[in-house]
Structure 1
Amino acid sequence: MAPYFLRNLVPRREEGKHSRPLLTVIASVTWLQWAQFFCGWLAWTCDAIDFFSVSLSVTHLQDQFNKSTHDITTAITLTLLFRPLGAVLFGIVSDRYGRKWPLVCNLVLVAVLELGAGFVHNFKQFLALRSLFGVGMGGIWGLAASTALENLPVELRGVGSGFLQEGYAVGYLIAAVINLYLVPEVKSGWRALFWTASGISLFTAFLRALLPESEYFLRAKEADRAKGANTSKKTKIFLHEVKEMLKRHWLLCIYAVLLMTGFNFLSHGSQDLYPTYLQQSKGFSAHNATVATIIGNLGAIAGGVVAGFVSQYIGRRLTIIIMVLLIGAFIPLWILPSSFSALSAGAFCIQFGVQGAWGVIPIQLAELSPPAFRATFPGVAYQLGNMVSSASAQIETVGGQNLKTTIIKEGNPTVVPDYAKVQGIFIGVVAAFVVLITIVGPEKHGSHFEQHKAAFEQGAAEDDIPEKDLPSGAPDAKESFHQIE
């Protein structure tokens, strides 16, 4: 008999029998559901703009603070290291009190810290602000994903997941365009990128404040109010359910962190040092490196949307595996050519695979999560994976210091770091790990998690959703990680 994780690699045929046609589902979505999805998407886009402000400004920051590439990438590492703290804090508050105001506060905090980063005068101040910034950024993903996906019909969540995750690539694109056209034209230089990012985050916070709380939480609060539960009692129940959830799902927690470690190494390893790789190892100008980055992120957007859609039909894990195998196939095109056109094509194809695989992650983690903890569990797993992978840029920098190549620069042979070889080896190893960890993992394709109790209700730590609350023909939502044979 085949192992459980292989038998369950493709969704069972009966899971799709009662699904409505995609166009019918899209037509049924209300303007409020679209608005909440857009707010979640925009919040995640802001996170990417804010994060990649440093990656795109490495050269400018080196000149500003008179530091090496390795020193500047310390700011990236510190941001990633502190993100799990933000995921825990904002995730718990969101699962306990709701999606709306925790996300608004989170975005305001990010806006203030990003604004401050544009006013620093020395490197120590910059590192301190980026460390605090990591706390603010850490909360965004879990809150954005739960806000965007839990209000959509179950048949639309795969597509929604792909669009949501590619807010990350869109954020990279926006930051790159600002860096390309605004930064060179203003006296403030690189600081203008940080200030613009701050304004976009503040606008998103304002937009979310205008919209109501998630219907899922409004329904749960109304039911709890009818039972006469007070705030102190709900908090006590919440803390008890968190403890029970950890006791029941500790193995799932470990798996999710391992999965997200691989995914974060995959994305950060292929993106954080990419502009530097093109400039130093391939001799591109800063302008051409930015344009190649934009082309790569167009591939990312296409990959995420396609993979999210496909995952609704062939399953989450199988889609991830196919996308990661595409990454391996295109590594040579990503690192071997020297021309702008060929390397740009390689960037497009690699990011199609990387962000295609990532496009499935929001819904995969939402469906795997203990249903009542869909802000905390995915957010913490994602950011712990971020923390483990936080040294990606520095690992590649050290690799470049030890692996050298020679290029012709201004007519003369010049010895430079061989970031092409370093990134090719790095991404190849990480891709193999991601395929393995995905194959052995669980999947709850089509889970109706929106029917579950909220985290402040008695019994929230249980996986079971009463059958009377499930739509007719819905897949069994009771499967869990401990059922793997």
Structure 2
Amino acid sequence: MGGLYGNAAATALEDIPEETRGLMSGILQQGYAFGYLLATAFARGLVNTTSHGWRPLYWFGACPPVLIIIFRLCLPETDTYQQHANVRRNARASGSGITSTFLREGKVAARRHWLLLTYLVLLMAGFNFMSHGSQDLYPTLLQNQFNFSPNAVTVTQVVANLGAMTGGTVIGYYSQVFGRRFSIIVISVVGGALLYPYTFVTSHAVIAAAFFEQFCVQGAWGVIPIHLMELSPGAFRTFVVGTAYQLGNLVSSASSTIESTIGERFPLPPKNGESREDYGKVICIFMGCVYAYVILLTFLGPEHLRRRFEAAYDADLREVAGDETVAKTTGLRDEP
């Protein structure tokens, strides 16, 4: 699953017209929210409603990969990939084998872009903390703290993911107008302002807060695929995008544990003999810190809006192919 992200982003975004990049980035990323919505609905309909328990949800989840394989087999490679592949073939034709070319690319990436790679991993850690911190324990909060029924929890989650899909598409589109960093910062500020109703409104009115909070969370996320694509060095774009995303995901995998640990400091009266924690307060505190981190890191980071993806503008590929003198003297990169 982790290996898919960088390749999927490149396939979807490399060849599209420049003016559509933001919109398509938002639509691509909100496949996550659409999948979450489907999982929520099917979990309510399938889990604990048959003698098979949780297994039907996984049987359903086994079907989409088959469709993806069939769909991808019918698609050609992108023009940008083919340009890059030609450069690599030229490098091997001049005496370099596949293994040596791969190692040479790795050395170029580490030497020239280690600072960028580090930044992107830190940025993606913040973004993954943002999504998982606001989502993973939220159903527990709704059921154990706000006393929502299973149906009410399902409705809230579905509405929240509708907000996520809307936010990712809308903010992704406007990032093409106002810029990637500005869009992320503004929507993160709005998301921070909505944390109080998202975590403290105990009535069913919280469904509206969930819609707009996830609009903001996934609104910021909608910018990410194209932002990573434009920041990443062209010769290593799929590697950098996928690896940064998943290493950030690795760091954020501790989010539920962190929130649970903090929650032990804010106990609530037991319910049906079971201990409870004030996850509303925990999520609010945690997400406030995450938003501040993302805003700061985004503000300090670079942006390459409308960067060109063609191989002809990529100094890394030229160096990999052996034209080191030209690469160093011209400083060519896949930028405008």
2:38 is aligned with 1:174: yes
Residues 163 and 304, structure 1, Cα contact 8 Å, conserved in 2: yes
Pair 1:455–1:284, CA change in 2 (3 A): farther
Task: Describe how 1:204-353 pairs up with structure 2 within 5 A.
Answer: 204-222=68-86, 229=93, 233-340=97-204, 342-353=205-216
Pair 1:238–1:415, CA change in 2 (3 A): closer
1:427 to 259, 280, 287: 287
Cα distance in 2, alignment partners of residues 282 and 306 from structure 1: 31
Residues 238 and 457, structure 1, Cα contact 8 Å, conserved in 2: no
For residues 354-380 of structure 1, what are the alpha-carbon distances to aligned partners after superposition, in whole Å with 9 as ceiling and x for unaligned? 000010010111000011111110111
2:19 is aligned with 1:163: no
Name the TM-score, length of structure 2 as normaliser: 0.90
For residues 380-430 of structure 1, what are the alpha-carbon distances to aligned partners after superposition, in whole Å with 9 as ceiling and x for unaligned? 1111111111110111122222212348x69xx986210000000000011
Report how far residue 226 of structure 1 moved: 7.2
Cα distance in 2, alignment partners of residues 253 and 449 from structure 1: 18
Pair 1:447–1:435, CA change in 2 (3 A): same
Q: Secondary structure at the match of 1:266?
A: helix
Aligned CA-pair RMSD: 2.9
1:403 to 252, 266, 272: 266
Q: Secondary structure at the match of 1:375?
A: helix
Residues 220 and 454, structure 1, Cα contact 8 Å, conserved in 2: no
2:9 to 134, 145, 151: 145
For residues 96-155 of structure 1, what are the alpha-carbon distances to aligned partners after superposition, in whole Å with 9 as ceiling and x for unaligned? xxxxxxxxxxxxxxxxxxxxxxxxxxxxxxxxxxxxxxxxx2212112111111121122
Tell me, which stretches of 5 or more residues in structure 1 are unaligned? 1-136, 470-475, 480-485
Cα distance in 2, alignment partners of residues 344 and 231 from structure 1: 62
2:228 is aligned with 1:368: no
Name the TM-score, length of structure 1 as normaliser: 0.63
Cα distance in 1, alignment partners of residues 21 and 170 from structure 2: 13
2:217 is aligned with 1:354: yes
Residues 88 and 101, structure 2, Cα contact 8 Å, conserved in 1: no
Report how far residue 272 of structure 1 moved: 1.2
Pair 1:445–1:352, CA change in 2 (3 A): same
Q: Secondary structure at the match of 2:127?
A: helix
Percent of pairs identical after alignment? Answer: 46
How many residues align structurally?
Answer: 332
Pair 1:182–1:213, CA change in 2 (3 A): same
Correspondence for 1:379 = 242
Q: Secondary structure at the match of 1:188?
A: coil
Pair 1:175–1:454, CA change in 2 (3 A): farther
Cα distance in 2, alignment partners of residues 249 and 456 from structure 1: 10
Cα distance in 1, alignment partners of residues 125 and 335 from structure 2: 26
Cα distance in 2, alignment partners of residues 187 and 305 from structure 1: 39
Task: Describe how 1:112-151 pairs up with structure 2 within 5 A.
Answer: 137-151=1-15
Report how far residue 286 of structure 1 moved: 2.1
Tell me, which stretches of 5 or more residues in structure 2 are unaligned? none
Report how far residue 455 of structure 1 moved: 11
Correspondence for 1:393 = 256
